[in-house]
């Protein structure tokens, strides 16, 4: 019953510049959420819908956790909301859950490339692989040291390390070298692919990349050369996530035939090597321009 549902914010904290993490009451979503899925949020009655990947959930307490970067009108409004306030609506979980394969943790590793705000959507998927018994290598890439989040005692990445020990290998990099290795997520990845597609003794079984579209493209092009299966999650390109607006249309090449997929219905995860990135990325930028126009209209 919608009238009874109150999506109250129970926790809020700024995890990095312009990025806020909130924990919200949404018991029905928390009960059935699976790694890789997202929700559609209506922050206020007058706002616009925003699709957000589930960063975490807690079925027992009936809460979900979301990480929001203030980019559009709705996300900027949502970033300002405080504990005790309620979101107008949350629909979900939506999208297809991640496909999880079981690998041999002694000889194989699943490599995650998380760029910036890609880390929150990566986190539950990586955790699911760890729970399945897979070995995980996580490359957490940030712009610079001040943009770091979820690192340090009690934070999510460190909590995963504490829980899973050697089963998880985390490598940090920043574009400017102020923390971890200097470079992009593709810097260590390239090195491992060159080293016989191995991280240490383990063969790279699969790569999962989530982050800015240009980063996902760079990872995809790199792994394609080495024929390493790669998945990207295209949550960041969705607008209404209803299958209606067409914003998330992705040109995909299947057996030499071009077909269009909707990230919000057929994804958010798609096989990176089937995407026609040349056709896809310019469309993405076009929506960015519209978003900026809408923002300035609202004086944000």
Q: Which residues bind ligand FES (CB under 6 A)?
A: 238-248, 262-264
> Minimum Å distance from CB 253 to ligand FES?
19
Task: Name which of 182 and 260 has its Cβ closer to ligand FES.
Answer: 260
Between residues 85 and 291, which has the closer beta carbon with respect to ligand FES?
Answer: 291
Given the complex with ligand FES, which of 7 and 38 has the nearer CB atom?
A: 38
CB of 158: closest distance to ligand FES in angstroms? Answer: 34
Pick 48 or 128: Cβ nearer ligand FES = 48
Nearer residue to ligand FES within complex by CB, 135 or 262: 262
The two tokens of residue 1 are 């019953």
Nearer to ligand FES, 282 or 299 (CB): 282
Nearer to ligand FES, 27 or 212 (CB): 212
Q: Compute the least distance from the CB of residue 173 to ligand FES, in Å.
A: 30
| CB 45 to ligand FES: min, Å | 21
Query: 192 to each of 92, 178, 217, how far by Cα in Å?
Result: 37, 22, 18
CB distance 86 to 35 below 8 Å? no
Phi, psi of 137 (to 5 degrees): -115, 120
Least distance to ligand FES from the beta carbon of 265, Å? 7
- The span from the CA of 17 to the CA of 15, in Å, is 7
The minimum distance between CB 148 and ligand FES, in angstroms, equals 30
**Distance (Å, whole) CA 173 – CA 151:** 12
Q: Which is nearer to ligand FES, 156 or 261 (CB)?
A: 261
Q: What's the half-sphere exposure (Cβ side, CA atoms, 13 Å) at 213?
A: 21
Structure tokens that stand for 98 in this block: 């991640």
Are the C-beta atoms of residues 244 and 197 closer than 8 Å to each other?
A: no
Q: How far is the CB of 268 from ligand FES (least distance, A)?
A: 10
Q: How far is the CB of 239 from ligand FES (least distance, A)?
A: 5
For residue 121 the two structure tokens come to 């959507």
CA atoms within 13 A on the CB side of 17: 8
């Amino acid at each position: 019953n919608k009238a009874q549902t109150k999506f109250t914010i129970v926790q809020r904290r700024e995890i990095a510049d312009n990025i806020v993490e909130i924990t919200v009451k949404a018991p029905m979503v928390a009960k059935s959420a699976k790694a890789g899925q997202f929700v559609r949020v209506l922050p206020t009655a007058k706002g616009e819908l925003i699709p957000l990947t589930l960063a975490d959930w807690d079925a027992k307490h009936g809460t979900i956790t979301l990480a929001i970067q203030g980019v559009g009108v709705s996300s900027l409004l949502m970033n300002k909301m405080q504990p005790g306030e309620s979101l107008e609506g949350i629909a979900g979980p939506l999208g297809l859950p991640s496909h999880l394969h079981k690998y041999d943790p002694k000889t194989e590793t699943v490599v995650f490339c998380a760029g910036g705000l890609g880390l929150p959507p990566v986190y539950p998927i990586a955790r699911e692989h760890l729970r399945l018994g897979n070995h995980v290598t996580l490359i957490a890439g940030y712009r610079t040291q001040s943009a770091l989040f979820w690192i340090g005692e009690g934070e999510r990445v460190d909590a995963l390390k504490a829980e899973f020990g050697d089963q998880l290998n985390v490598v940090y990099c920043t574009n400017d070298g102020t923390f971890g290795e200097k470079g992009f997520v593709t810097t260590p990845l390239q090195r491992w692919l060159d080293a016989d597609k191995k991280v240490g003794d383990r063969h790279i079984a699969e790569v999962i990349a989530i982050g800015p579209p240009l980063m996902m493209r760079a990872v995809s092009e790199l792994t394609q050369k080495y024929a390493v299966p790669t998945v990207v999650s295209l949550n960041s390109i969705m607008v209404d996530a209803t299958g209606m607006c067409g914003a998330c249309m992705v040109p995909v090449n299947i057996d030499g035939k071009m077909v269009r997929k909707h990230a919000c219905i057929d994804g958010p995860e798609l096989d990176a090597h089937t995407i026609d990135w040349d056709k896809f990325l310019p469309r993405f930028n076009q929506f960015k321009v519209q978003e900026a126009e809408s923002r300035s209209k609202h004086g944000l």
